[in-house]
Amino acid sequence: MLSPKTQYNLKNAQEYFEEHLCAGDYYSEGERIRGQWFGKGAEALGLRADVGRDEFLALCENHHQKTGESLTQRRKHLRREMDENGDERNAANRRVFYDFTLSPPKSVSIAALAGGDGRIIEAHSRAVSVAMGELEQFASTRVRRAGSSSDRETGNVVGACFHHDTSRALDPHLHSHCILFNATHDASEGRWKALQNYEMLRAQKYVENVYYHELARALIDFGYGIANHRRGDFELKGLSSALRDKFSKRHAEIDEKTRILLANQPEKASGNVADIREHIAHDERSRKIKNVGREKLLALWNQQMTKAERAELAGLLAEKGFLAVFSG
């Protein structure tokens, strides 16, 4: 699944880096998630390998990470956003970055994380890289001439990718946050300008399908069976829907909060329910749990499964030559 989210608030963007991108959804003493730079724009700025805190925060402030000078010109104007009650309001329109989050089907996360098949984690990372390479081709910038405007393709982004492995409910949830800063280099004008994301959003389904195709191809090579869905995604054969639902508590929580909001304010049911769900998902986050390491997570997942479900997962992994990482 590919889910885009725009970050407008500088303070929130900085906190998002410190408290979520680098920390994941649980705390383990001394552990930090290392992001990786990607994109032709990042290369042009000399950004390679691991994401540094100072570099990331400088770009959030629209500063060149080496010179400290403004990277692009910015125009501030108003936009409409949805508040916690589903009502629209005016807010300052200052795009800091775009967060394109890629995640595999739930059964894939279960096999990779609860089951311990590390090959799937690597395959996910490779599929994300291929998908982001495709998305980069749709990068563009706005061109204004004689009172009219149009978009010009630039084909480069300044990106930072962070790989996570749990949901806020501590379910196995493999996903990657691909941060695209609001800057792209316009070769025609020889300068950095704001990134126009219209064509990237139009290409969202295509990029999502590229990710699914690359991941499914790797899973088939590993020996897994694939059950395709009409909507374009898939699940692994051999894992029941009951087990998938058991490890989808965050999704169920969002469903319930959306149901309650619409029950209390039925007039909002005719609006964009997807926007309401997105607001709940991003802005009504439960507190992170501290001092949860990998062993505690595996034990937690093991405890939540019935004996039959543990046997189900162990059997699937055994077919691939893996031993289950939990006891039956």
Q: What is the DSSP string of 252-283?
A: HHHHHHHHHHHHH-GGGGGS-HHHHHHHHHHH
Stronger pLDDT, 251 or 119, i.e. the higher one:
119
Single-letter code of the amino acid located at 148: S
- What's residue 224's pLDDT? 92
d(C-alpha 283, C-alpha 258), whole Å: 13
- Mean pLDDT computed over 184-213: 95
267 pLDDT higher than 80: no
Indicate which residues carry an active-site annotation: 26-27
Is there a contact between 144 and 15 (Cβ–Cβ < 8 Å)?
no
227 pLDDT higher than 80: yes
Using alpha carbons only, give the angle 74, 79, 80 rounded to the nearest 5 degrees.
160
210 pLDDT higher than 90: yes
Those residues whose C-beta lies under 8 Å from the C-beta of residue 55, and which sit 6 or more positions away, are: 47, 65
> Can you say whether the dihedral through the CA atoms of 277, 280, 286, 288 is positive or negative?
positive
pLDDT band at 293 (very low <50, low <70, confident <90, very high): confident
206-209, long-range: CB < 8 A, 24+ apart: 206/134, 207/2, 207/131, 207/132, 207/134, 207/135, 208/1, 208/2, 208/102, 208/131, 208/232
- What's residue 168's pLDDT? 78
- Mean pLDDT computed over 31-40: 90
* Residue closest to 115 by CA, chosen among 298, 304, 319: 298
Tokens of 256: 């319930």
Average pLDDT along the chain: 83
Is there a contact between 90 and 80 (Cβ–Cβ < 8 Å)?
yes
* Residue closest to 180 by CA, chosen among 1, 2, 5: 5
- Mean pLDDT computed over 288-304: 77
Q: In Å, how far are 88, 208, 213, 252, 258 from 281, measured between CA atoms?
A: 17, 20, 27, 11, 10
pLDDT band at 39 (very low <50, low <70, confident <90, very high): very high
20-34, 66-80, 251-265: range with lowest mean pLDDT: 251-265
**Which residues are paired to 100 by β-bridges?**
4, 178
Q: What is the pLDDT of residues 256-265, one digit of tens each?
A: 555 555 566 6
- What's residue 285's pLDDT? 47
- What's residue 280's pLDDT? 46
319 pLDDT higher than 80: no
- What's residue 277's pLDDT? 44
- Strand, coil or helix: what is 117? coil
pTM: 0.82
